[in-house]
Structure 1
Amino acid sequence: NALDALEEQEKQLAIKKCLEMLPSEDSFILTLYYFEELSLDEISKITGLKPNNVKVKLFRNRKKLATILKQHLEPEIIESYEGTYRTAFR
């Protein structure tokens, strides 16, 4: 319904604001993976990093983002995304 759509838009906006708090390379890799839905190989080609390095950076950047999210988002938003990865940022 319209209320759910509005809440989803608010969540995405809040997450994007938190992404902006990360260093640009970290934010870029997360954006390519979650918003552009690119594979590790595709991100590797774009960034010039090896796929395994991209995987490690995604892992580390998710941890950094999680810390920022916990500091800046309402608990209900965090709870709605716990346990999800690829779909967490849609």
Structure 2
Amino acid sequence: MDLDAISHHFFGTTDIDTLSPEALEAGRERVSLAFGTEREPGRRFALWAVLRATGDAPDPTRAFKDPREQRAAQMYASAIGMAGADD
């Protein structure tokens, strides 16, 4: 999935940093609904990553049934956390 397309579709912009708190929350709700109904693993992971990036992702062990997907999400979250520590 294309991150700009996801951002524009759910948040109405490709620059999420410009959103008001209300618009950000509304976009998160739309992403969360899509995440809950998505069945294709790759798209589901991309939606989870958007939720993670906006601070609203469920824990990987609750978000994914497949242990490989759980581990991938945990590794992604860890890597993002390490990258944020350098900022």
TM-score (structure 2 length as normaliser): 0.32
Select the structure of larger CA radius of gyration: 1
TM-score (structure 1 length as normaliser): 0.31
Give 1 or 2: higher helix fraction. 1
